[in-house]
Amino acid sequence: MTRQAKAPSTSRHSATFIVSFIIQQLAFVQTCTAVTVYYQAGQKPLGGTATDTGVAARYTGAAAYNPTTLNPPPPPGPDALPTQFAMQFSNAVPPGASIPQSGAFFGFSIEMSVVNQVLGKNSSFIQVPFLNLMANLQQRSGRINIRVGGNTQERATLVENTTDGRIIEKDLAGIINPTQTPPLVFTPELLQLLRNISNLVNVRWYLGVPFNDTSNFRLAIAERGQQILGDYLIGLQAGNEPDLYVDHGHRPQGYGPYDYFGEFGMLVQAMAGDEHLVNRGLLIGPNVNSGPWSPEMVWNTGFVDAYANNLAYLAVEHYPTDNCYAQYGVGTPRDPQETFPNYLNHTAGQTLIAPYLNSSAYAQTKGKPLLMFETNSASCGGFVGISDSFGAALWGLDYGMQMAYSNFSGALFHIGGQNVYYNPFTPEALGPSNTTQVLDMSANNNNIYSPVYGIYEHGNLVRALLFNYVTDSTGASDLNVELNLSGTQVSGEVQVKYLLASSVSQKGNFTWAGQTFGGMFDSDGRPIGTESVQTISCTSQSCTIHVPAPGAALVFLYPSSRSDTAGAPSQTFSTSARTNTHNTATVDPSVLATSNGHSGMDNKLGSTSEGSVSSAETRYELFIGSALSLVLSVVAGWALILGLT
């Protein structure tokens, strides 16, 4: 859906706050004041214990801004990577292609406790870089799905007011021991914030019903959520990673899939008796991690049939690995440099998805969409040097396409706050038609460094996405891929957009079709520069596509297969704003050790700026952490490319 321009609106409560935006067709124009990003040097990782445990400890700023750069793996050589190969495409969708996918396939998951860092302070103070990024994605994909939740949702309680007037507060009185995650209280203003965002950009929300007390469900988030968000509320998670409840001390030993089945039923019953609920069919389960339960253990309880009327989505959560040791001194130490190659080939995404192929097939038989509800490069905040690197951008793009190909119906990349290296990228590849089908072409004899996906819309081949995971500045590892398009309507030429950087270890300044989100501290959520799209001439419907090492190339077979603004017209938000911040609480390492969220909480930002003018009006503290700065480059990469056109 598209939205029209609105007049600038001004907060009644903050003279310094102005949001205005301009809708433009086909181009981003730099009409807005530059944004200065502040970050705090000298900041230690939260959690207390990580003072001398690895790379993360040596840099003491917030994780999202850590400049550590790794070495790219050496080129594998011509035997491991044949650089010239041909691919035969048919116009019709071949057997084995995915179910139809939406351009909103790639979404975000935001830990509830950091909503005020990433999204905004209240309904009249929305983070502008976030809006710009969302507008940019919407332009390509039509809409963006975002989950607000995580481990912190389980004990969150809606209150009418907080003592300090903020939309989220840690209930310090609720802490039983000093290392425990404080429960959150939040106000309806948080929901109003989400609603106001949706008034500006087409963002749809998933929330979570607190599941810590199943004899006394706190349904207020569902009631008020439905009331305030209306159709913008698309799902309600019931239980976050219940297979880890025992490990986290949230349920007694022996708690198993049948217990979860029973508790889910109690929720369904509680909701049935709640007259304030309009829609009782929005639930999402079982949200198991790769913990002690396989998804099948839950399917085999009869869960999906029993609750078919209440389940909007089935979901799992999964991270390839964790970096908890470096961050919190718990778990297995992992060296980022040694871990890096694990992200730099096609096997990575395939391996992550393999345990879920049976579940995605099962979900199809039940007519329910399956979501990857929370994922990213590594839990406990990701890895220094990896998670915000160009290599991670390629990995995320490939992993995302692999999930689409494997019949997931959506994937949410998790943003835990400032102390993460996360990075999501991807919607232009899929486009906004809702008919997109994806096929992993097993290219180059299934070569792990050079995967290729075919992308179909309305039953016809429209795009191809080609990767080169290798870093090699000599050009010897550049690919030349001959696409044989003889079965298609292609005549004369095709167009190509490139995702490029000089090395898989580069952070920031990645370019997508010549545009960039800038360097490490630069981004305000808008791509900078002039878009450049390459035209490649074809001979007898055979087109040779060059893929630099490293890089990715999205090939558009027809002018009509470009979807730069197919999702919505372009729009840009600008602001001037100034906020205060304050420091807070500790985080329970046992919670963080498993996958999640990594509650960066309210780290202090502020101190050094980069670049721009710093009058009070133009200064703007970005609480976006990995989501909107470094991560912007990467995420934007994925989001753009996946939704990207």
**Contact residues: ligand NAG, CB under 6 A:** 9, 13-14, 19, 88, 96, 98-99, 102, 121-125, 142, 155, 157, 160-161, 165, 174, 183, 192, 196, 199, 212-213, 296, 299-300, 341-342, 345, 347-348, 351, 357-358, 360-362, 364, 405-407, 432-434, 448, 484, 486, 507-509, 519, 540, 542, 579
The residue to which tokens 């019931």 are assigned: 238
Say if residues 513 and 620 touch (Cβ distance below 8 Å). no
Nearer to ligand NAG, 98 or 594 (CB): 98
Looking at residue 427, its amino acid is P
State the sign of the Cα–Cα–Cα–Cα dihedral 549, 551, 552, 557: negative
Phi/psi of residue 209, nearest 5 degrees: -85, 130
Nearer to ligand NAG, 122 or 327 (CB): 122
Nearer to ligand NAG, 295 or 625 (CB): 295
Q: How far is the CB of 484 from ligand NAG (least distance, A)?
A: 4
Of 516, 458, 569, 390, the C-alpha closest to 4 is 569
Nearer to ligand NAG, 52 or 160 (CB): 160
Per the DSSP assignment, residues forming a β-bridge with 120 are: 126
Nearer to ligand NAG, 6 or 58 (CB): 6
Nearer to ligand NAG, 213 or 269 (CB): 213
Q: How far is the CB of 360 from ligand NAG (least distance, A)?
A: 6
Nearer to ligand NAG, 245 or 638 (CB): 245
Say if residues 382 and 592 touch (Cβ distance below 8 Å). no
CA 440 to chain CA mean position, Å: 21
Say if residues 379 and 322 touch (Cβ distance below 8 Å). yes
State the sign of the Cα–Cα–Cα–Cα dihedral 118, 8, 204, 637: negative
Q: How far is the CB of 157 from ligand NAG (least distance, A)?
A: 5
Per the DSSP assignment, residues forming a β-bridge with 399 are: none
Q: How far is the CB of 149 from ligand NAG (least distance, A)?
A: 15
- The Cβ-side half-sphere exposure at 480, using a 13 Å CA radius, reads 6
Three-state secondary structure of 205-269 = EEEEECCCCCCCCCCHHHHHHHHHHHHHEEEEEECCCHHHCCCCCCCCCCCCHHHHHHHHHHHHH
Nearer to ligand NAG, 37 or 50 (CB): 37
Q: How far is the CB of 433 from ligand NAG (least distance, A)?
A: 6
Q: How far is the CB of 9 from ligand NAG (least distance, A)?
A: 5
Helix (H, G, I), strand (E, B) or coil at 529: coil
Of 448, 326, 472, 325, the C-alpha closest to 395 is 448
Nearer to ligand NAG, 58 or 458 (CB): 458
Three-state secondary structure of 398-419 = HHHHHHHHCCCCEEEEEECCCC
Nearer to ligand NAG, 26 or 361 (CB): 361
Q: How far is CA 34 from CA 135, 345, 523, in A?
A: 18, 37, 9
Q: How far is the CB of 102 from ligand NAG (least distance, A)?
A: 6
Say if residues 133 and 172 touch (Cβ distance below 8 Å). no
Q: How far is the CB of 262 from ligand NAG (least distance, A)?
A: 16
Nearer to ligand NAG, 174 or 292 (CB): 174
- The encoded tokens of residue 622 equal 């970005």
Q: How far is the CB of 186 from ligand NAG (least distance, A)?
A: 11
Q: How far is the CB of 439 from ligand NAG (least distance, A)?
A: 9
Helix (H, G, I), strand (E, B) or coil at 515: strand
Q: How far is the CB of 83 from ligand NAG (least distance, A)?
A: 17
**DSSP conformation class of 539:** B
Nearer to ligand NAG, 49 or 434 (CB): 434
Q: How far is the CB of 547 from ligand NAG (least distance, A)?
A: 18
> How far, in Å, CA of 468 to CA of 366, rounded?
37
Length of the chain: 645
Q: Residue 376 contacts by C-beta under 8 Å, 6 or more apart in sequence?
A: 319, 382, 387, 413, 414, 420, 422, 423, 424
Q: How far is the CB of 641 from ligand NAG (least distance, A)?
A: 19
The residue to which tokens 């990024």 are assigned: 133
Nearer to ligand NAG, 51 or 542 (CB): 542
Q: How far is the CB of 169 from ligand NAG (least distance, A)?
A: 12
> How far, in Å, CA of 228 to CA of 313, rounded?
21
Crossing angle for the helix pair 220-229 and 188-200, nearest 10 degrees?
30
Crossing angle for the helix pair 128-141 and 188-200, nearest 10 degrees?
50
Nearer to ligand NAG, 53 or 434 (CB): 434
Q: How far is the CB of 470 from ligand NAG (least distance, A)?
A: 11
> How far, in Å, CA of 110 to CA of 128, rounded?
16
Nearer to ligand NAG, 40 or 437 (CB): 437
Q: How far is the CB of 508 from ligand NAG (least distance, A)?
A: 5
The residue to which tokens 């404080």 are assigned: 182
Task: Bin 91: left if φ > 0, else alpha if -120 < ψ < 50, else beta.
Answer: alpha
